[in-house]
Amino acid sequence: MVVRELTGGIYFGEPRGESVMNGVETGINTEIYTRPEVERVARVAFDLARKRTRKVTSVDKSNVLESSVLWRRVVSEVGAKEYPDVSLSHMLVDNCAMQLIRNPRQFDVVVTTNLFGDILTDEASMITGSIGMLPSASIGGKVGLYEPIHGSAPDIAGRGSPTHWRWYFPSR
């Protein structure tokens, strides 16, 4: 199961935008995470792990990105202080992309940033044979919005095409 941070990171960070700088067309986005954002998503992952095999892998790019250095440190602290019964390991995202193909069973709960989670969840879905096999939920506080990972595809509703029945599928 992948826990993807959904409301922060490079998809929302400022500054962002397109401009011309020194006569050169330039596009900017900002990968930014704060301690409370990382603590929040870490707790979601650790809580889920307690209902499964008590094993969390946190995925980042801390060899290059300062936002990932913070991410790794905060996830480690939350784990050590609040969830000593859950085992935690860290993995760089490029290695994780390989390991998901090489040996997906080594993972149980993966927690990662918005950008990395966007990509890794699509990669992981193919291991099951079809993205339609997977459920997803947006969790915020006490609210969970469950839906098919691929959206509801209203354009093909009623045709009996594969998309509408599978939202309740096993998560691994």
- What are the catalytic residues? 11, 61, 94, 118, 122
The tally of CA atoms less than 13 A away on the side-chain side of residue 123 is: 17
Q: Under the criterion CB under 8 A, does residue 168 sit at the interface with another protein?
A: yes
Strand-strand pairing, 143-148 and 2-4: unpaired
E-assigned strand segments in 31-157: 55-60, 87-92, 109-112, 135-140, 143-148
Q: Closest distance between another protein and the C-beta of residue 1, in Å?
A: 8
Q: Under the criterion CB under 8 A, does residue 133 sit at the interface with another protein?
A: yes
Q: Under the criterion CB under 8 A, does residue 169 sit at the interface with another protein?
A: yes
Q: Closest distance between another protein and the C-beta of residue 62, in Å?
A: 28
Q: Under the criterion CB under 8 A, does residue 55 sit at the interface with another protein?
A: no
| Contact in structure between 136 and 148 (CB atoms under 8 Å) | yes
Q: Under the criterion CB under 8 A, does residue 164 sit at the interface with another protein?
A: yes
| Contact in structure between 127 and 104 (CB atoms under 8 Å) | yes
The window from 16-24, 67-75, 112-120, 125-133 that contacts another protein (CB under 8 A) reads 125-133
Strand-strand pairing, 135-140 and 143-148: antiparallel
Residues that bind another protein (CB under 8 A): 48, 51, 129-130, 132-133, 135, 137, 144, 146, 160-166, 168-171
